[in-house]
Structure 1
Amino acid sequence: MARLSLNAVSKSFGDKTVVDALSLTIEPGQFVALLGPSGCGKSTILRMLAGFETVSAGDIQHGDQCLSSTKFHLPTEERNFGMVFQSYALWPHMTVMENVGYPLKIQKVDRQNYQRRVQDALDIVQLNDFKDRLPSQLSGGQRQRVALARSLVTEPDVILFDEPLANLDRHLRESMEITFREFHRRTGATMVYVTHDQAEAMALADQIAVLKDGQLMQWSTPEDLYTRPNNEWVANFIGQGSILRCQSVSGNQLLTSTDVIGLLYDQTEHQGRMLVRPQHVDLSATSNMLQGTVRECIFRGERYDIFLVLENGDTLHAYHTEPLEIGETRQLSIQQAWTLEPSHDHDY
């Protein structure tokens, strides 16, 4: 396996730039998610990696080999990349075994290697007992595992996923996330996974590229994205939390409870922004207290989501083990917060 690099890659359709000077380095064996709202360019990036689209600027390298540039384009069939589509794309008249083995049939692989590789792929996705069934006889999750096995059977260098869980219900998506993690551990393949679902990306990926309007907002681990977002837009997009106005402060700093109190109490101006995650709000505090009025209380099973309005008018999201009355005034403290660079774009 080799490193996969996108170097200042852009893609335009007419006068519209869909991907804008994107640079990423994907190490061998990494599981990478391309995450962003609809229209952010993530599927176009995947299509350029697959060879379905050319680049308008920059280049894509796989190890020492150039896959795409403005002067060269390696055809899809010569890239040795596997692809798993949202729609599964299975042949309805073929059995599971025939669907999985179809790429090898096209490559005219000899019978012995054909049988071994198909069997290995079916074993990895745990579908050996279903190899003689037709797609119509399978559940959605089983069909997706057939598509996984088919992508693996050619022993690709990289596997590309185009929102593969989008058509599944919530329970099945959670089950398939486990399948994808096991699949990655067993194969060690480099994987690039497109999704608009942040929970899916956080659960699966080693590294996440957060995209907006064709531009890279942040390239980090799931933990870093959640605890240390680069800016206000990323903080709003990733996870649950509240962005509070405060005294002007430099971005990308971890604030203590005392810091938070000082910045919020100074009401001379509101140029600063801080991110507060709900688990860092203490509604039973007896020191370093703020005050908020309960606006909403929502039962979530294991907890209640509480939304309070602070004295400066900002809304604060907190968790609590018991329900609170709408309109109730509560004393609270914020245990920690993360400062943000203000964003002038509030189209979240």
Structure 2
Amino acid sequence: MAAITLTDVDLDYPDGTAGLRRIDLDIDDGEFVALVGPSGSGKTTLLRTVAGFLAPTAGTIRLGDEVVADGRRATPPEHRQLGMVFQQHAIWPHRSVGRNVSYPLERAGVPKRTRGQRVDEVLELVGLAGFRDRDPATLSGGQRQRVALARALAASPRALLLDEALSALDEPLRDRLRLELRSLTRAARLTVVHVTHDRAEALALADRIAVLDSGRIQQIGTPEEVLSQPASAFVAGFLSDANLWDGRMEHGSFRTQRHRWEVRGELIERARAGAGTIAVLPGDVELCGSDEAVFEGIVSSSLFGRDANDVVVTSRGTDIRCAVPGRRPVVGDRVSLRVRRALFYPSDDAARGTTTAPAVLEEVR
């Protein structure tokens, strides 16, 4: 097992396109880190750079105490002792389950008897004991992905890299494999880097989440931190579907094209005048009586959720997304809303990921 450390890593493609910029990331031995971000954000590029399929143009990458890339040279993927599982499980149809799993051991020159023992161990670990002689064609999608995972684990890798490894599976199989994956990686004390487009999956699995955009890490933190304390308006919008409004902070109020709010609370003491973005998380908007309302509007969308209903209220031309527990409002209902918390991000600080303290908004009528 090994920690993974990236320091000031840049990556430029041959055409000059920037793939990664100033990546600093420390992943502890045995830690599970998820990489999330929109398409083109750099999350797969970052994973492939750690794996050795791409070489950084600057910065260093360490696996444990070993430098595997430093901008001048890079250790080939096959010598980094990493396990990798892709979205498409890519197991060989002409080899039995056992021979698929033993492939990295064969390449490493492990004796046949030792190979057989290790194959049985990892097949049992992934829940496929007794499948050693099975033909891959007889397996379900979930079983084939377990074979791919067993193959990645067979050679006792220093770390496990997962590239959308569960996204091709249907629910509820994907949900079950999430639980199994987290359990077996903890049992094996594996360092894991997991790329996923599924925000719920990242939040459920990871010890920490790194949010990427435009080849840069916008924030890294525990699931609780990135959800409740987003470092930028982008992170708030991407991870939490926050309501985002651009405007200006002036004399204790925030103005947009359609609204003007008085700002109450600590934020007003820290937010200097100027352009910026206010972010309001859906969970910080709640139904209330008309005398407490910041917004009044009509329910334009109402979707059922297990923990809270996903509701959109249209108020004076503005759509406001909120998470409403309990009874689900009906489309067309007139409702009153109040905001329990808002975050202000000055325009010149937003790109650097700085934020100010929360505040309560009160609309000026």
TM-score by length of 2: 0.82
Partner Cα distance (1:56, 1:301) in 2: 45
Within 5 A, what are the aligned runs for 1:31-70? 31-70=32-71
Structure 1 counterpart SS, 2:130:
helix
Which residue matches 1:252? none
Which residue matches 2:133? 132
CA 1:331/1:40 → structure 2, altered by over 3 Å: closer, same or farther? closer
Cα pair 1:230 1:341 within 8 Å, conserved: no
Which residue matches 1:334? 339
Which residue matches 2:7? 7
Structure 1 counterpart SS, 2:9:
strand
Cα pair 2:2 2:29 within 8 Å, conserved: yes
Partner Cα distance (1:285, 1:203) in 2: 35
Cα pair 2:298 2:315 within 8 Å, conserved: no
Greater shift after overlay, 36-45 or 138-147?
36-45
**Match of 2:5, as an amino acid?**
S
Counterpart among 281, 293, 299 of residue 297 in structure 2: 293
Query: RMSD of the alignment, in Å?
Result: 2.7
CA positional deviation for 1:130: 2.3
Structure 1 counterpart SS, 2:298:
strand
**Match of 1:158, as an amino acid?**
A
Cα pair 2:209 2:221 within 8 Å, conserved: yes
Are residues 1:208 and 2:212 paired?
no
Partner Cα distance (1:246, 1:336) in 2: 17
Residues 150-193 of structure 1 deviation map (CA, whole Å, 9 limit, x = unaligned): 11110111111111122112322212211211121111110111
Partner Cα distance (2:296, 2:239) in 1: 24
CA positional deviation for 1:327: 4.5
CA positional deviation for 1:320: 4.6
Are residues 1:155 and 2:159 paired?
no
CA 1:36/1:313 → structure 2, altered by over 3 Å: closer, same or farther? closer
CA 1:61/1:299 → structure 2, altered by over 3 Å: closer, same or farther? closer
Partner Cα distance (1:325, 1:194) in 2: 37
Greater shift after overlay, 103-112 or 225-234?
103-112
Cα pair 1:33 1:193 within 8 Å, conserved: yes
Partner Cα distance (1:74, 1:245) in 2: 46
Within 5 A, what are the aligned runs for 1:76-115? 76-115=77-116
CA positional deviation for 1:242: 1.9
Structure 1 counterpart SS, 2:30:
coil
**Identity percentage of aligned residues:** 36
Structure 2 counterpart SS, 1:128:
coil
**Match of 1:64, as an amino acid?**
D
Cα pair 1:198 1:239 within 8 Å, conserved: no
Cα pair 2:240 2:282 within 8 Å, conserved: no
Cα pair 2:236 2:281 within 8 Å, conserved: no
**Match of 1:203, as an amino acid?**
A
**Match of 1:153, as an amino acid?**
A
Cα pair 1:245 1:270 within 8 Å, conserved: no
Cα pair 2:52 2:76 within 8 Å, conserved: yes
Counterpart among 275, 281, 287 of residue 285 in structure 2: 281
Partner Cα distance (1:54, 1:272) in 2: 37
Gaps of 5+ in 2: 251-259, 352-365
Cα pair 1:248 1:273 within 8 Å, conserved: no
Partner Cα distance (1:66, 1:215) in 2: 22
Gaps of 5+ in 1: 250-259
Residues 281-303 of structure 1 deviation map (CA, whole Å, 9 limit, x = unaligned): 33144764323212413231545
TM-score by length of 1: 0.86
Which residue matches 2:168? 167
CA positional deviation for 1:100: 0.9
Greater shift after overlay, 303-312 or 9-18?
303-312
CA 1:297/1:71 → structure 2, altered by over 3 Å: closer, same or farther? closer
Residues 304-333 of structure 1 deviation map (CA, whole Å, 9 limit, x = unaligned): 432123458452424153343545432332
Cα pair 1:51 1:76 within 8 Å, conserved: yes
CA 1:321/1:107 → structure 2, altered by over 3 Å: closer, same or farther? same
Cα pair 1:287 1:333 within 8 Å, conserved: no
